[in-house]
Structure 1
């Protein structure tokens, strides 16, 4: 993969609640179904792609935005190997919850999923790219970057506030408790027998019921959690081999294969912070 086609990541310790990803050739990245602990919003900057979001399927193209709730299983992949490019902003869920609550958009300081999955609006696309340009630029100071992020997300949250709330699934308490257990013990070697004992479900029933409510089998959920743990370790500067072990992977090669399958980037690419590279918004509507 040439340098210009490698996924690039932007992070800044002074803005720990946001992270930006840029992909110049989406044909080079394919995702397995996965989820993130963050809320995320992406902009298709050229071409088009498929967007599978839980049980819904969308075709998105240049100028469109996609909005992804935390923990919602999704994939974005090329259409018939056609070129496409995108930006993706990952936003810390707790930080965004506080922003929405402080603006009077939530009745309590607790995350509420957003119903909107895609936006085809030139104004919001241009504003998104302007924010991305600001974050990536070495000529913008910290206060300006913070202002761009807060203004964009605050205004967007107000824009979306009129949409109906997503009805939260009534997850059985036993499965909620099991998901919490998997979150807390993701780096450990767990057995299906242990999960059945904790939940009180038989093996077959557990796998079917868990996938119904969480979109992934318990094993896939655990692997996804391990990748997110590894991602956090890498962002904190942990060496790849140590990040692999800390996240519960048997060895570095297994971590690298799994990380690339779910993140469409290698651990080394993720650790490498993008040089400043401004992105020009194009109005494709």
Structure 2
């Protein structure tokens, strides 16, 4: 039986938000990864395993999962059982300003949210209504903007006071190394060079970096490459050009890694539903 492809909705007039719809997730398996955006997903059918940093649990239909930017996670099907979900990606700067305007933050600077799972039906229902609005070609831009702001505002107000501080201070040498990997994500940074830059031995560097970032330095850099690749694909750049610009040996290499972390091919991701209507009610 063929399995449904993931669907992505985006609109250049709402650059701060992107929606993903998976109606049959049995082939949707992720390696541990993170997003540059704050993300919120709704499980619309079945169950899956949710790994979030060091925690692991099951989530099922009716649950919402909340993902802080740069927090490593993976959500995968159980025993090839059908499951379906929406995932909304929201620009963190836009959301920080909204939270500030709502009085949730003292300044418009991002703070991580401590809640990872919400099971209240009112928020699940509101999420699905918002998603249906975005996916419909019969609804105009202003109504879609209002739907996103109304739902996210009510959720942020409900989560007020649940901001969290980092569990432990990340050593400045590792922050500097991570910043260097961000700036040079498309370059081949050797482990020996990372050791010289940090002053750590190879084994200590890998263990300590993973302890703080939940990824090895190499996996961290690959994750950044894919995030940058997603950004360029949304801008309409050819896949082959993106692959080479982001440091992959060729397009097939880029496609393999992209599918491993995004659970979609670059071509599937680049396509969107700006002009096509999806009957979202079928996926509730």
TM-score normalised by length of structure 1? 0.96
Contact 1:126 1:281 in 2 (8 A): no
**Relative to structure 2, which stretch is displaced further, 49-58 or 102-111?**
102-111
> Do residues 276 (structure 1) and 280 (structure 2) align?
no
**Displacement of 1:168 after TM fit?**
4.6
Report the 3-state secondary structure (helix = DSSP H, G, I; strand = E; otherwise coil) of the residue aligned with 2:34: coil
Distance (Å, rounded) in 2 between the aligned partners of 1:187 and 1:165: 32
Distance (Å, rounded) in 1 between the aligned partners of 2:180 and 2:208: 16
Structure 2 matches for 1:61-100, cutoff 5 A?
Answer: 61-100=60-99
Contact 1:131 1:152 in 2 (8 A): yes
Distance (Å, rounded) in 1 between the aligned partners of 2:104 and 2:92: 15
Which residue in the other structure is 2:147 paired with?
148
Distance (Å, rounded) in 2 between the aligned partners of 1:55 and 1:227: 23
CA deviations over 1:177-200 (Å, ceiling 9, x no partner): 111111111011111111112112
Distance (Å, rounded) in 1 between the aligned partners of 2:109 and 2:167: 13
**Relative to structure 2, which stretch is displaced further, 270-279 or 147-156?**
270-279
Distance (Å, rounded) in 1 between the aligned partners of 2:223 and 2:121: 34
1:281/1:100 CA distance change after superposition, 3 Å: farther
CA deviations over 1:153-185 (Å, ceiling 9, x no partner): 111000011335244530000000111111111
* RMSD after superposition: 1.5
TM-score normalised by length of structure 2? 0.96
Report the 3-state secondary structure (helix = DSSP H, G, I; strand = E; otherwise coil) of the residue aligned with 2:56: strand
Which residue in the other structure is 2:232 paired with?
233
Contact 2:40 2:89 in 1 (8 A): yes
Which residue in the other structure is 2:102 paired with?
103
Which residue in the other structure is 2:251 paired with?
252
> Do residues 17 (structure 1) and 16 (structure 2) align?
yes
Structure 2 matches for 1:96-135, cutoff 5 A?
Answer: 96-135=95-134
Contact 1:20 1:89 in 2 (8 A): yes
- Unaligned 5+ segments in structure 2 are none
Q: How many residues align?
A: 282
Kindly report structure 1 stretches of 4+ aligned residues shifted beyond 4 Å: none
**Displacement of 1:36 after TM fit?**
0.5
Structure 2 matches for 1:204-215, cutoff 5 A?
Answer: 204-215=203-214
Contact 1:52 1:75 in 2 (8 A): yes
Distance (Å, rounded) in 2 between the aligned partners of 1:166 and 1:260: 32
> Do residues 26 (structure 1) and 25 (structure 2) align?
yes
